[in-house]
Amino acid sequence: MPADHELIRGTVWGLCCLDTDEPKPVVIVSNDGRNRSRFGWVDAVRITSRPKRPLPTIVDLSPADAPLSGRAMVDEVELIHKGDLEDRRGTLSPGTMRAIDNALRRVFSLA
């Protein structure tokens, strides 16, 4: 399990999945107060490398996110146990996180 202080908003981790040998990448979207708390869960969205049709709730990672690539499936927010995260893969750029914020506003119908 990663140390709680390393679980910060915008970091990308591998999510251990029972149906595959390869951990699937997810980006943490919950706030850092929650991420650092004793609460055992974080909110995250998965990142896929599969092509998807353009939607306002799917965010393409930019060249500034390299070596990370793909798209964040923001319309699929998941509550993930901290113990299921492994292998920190990097941090998304501020521009990509702003795009994810905008997509989250759409997902949750926020102004």
The tens digit of pLDDT for each residue in 20-72 reads: 678 899 999 999 999 999 999 999 999 999 998 999 999 999 999 999 999 99
What pLDDT sits at residue 6?
Answer: 86
Domain 4-103 grouped into CATH 1.10.3720.10: no
Give the start-to-end residue ranges of the domains of the chain: 4-103
Prediction pTM value: 0.91
User: What values do phi and psi take at 25, rounded to 5?
Assistant: -75, 140
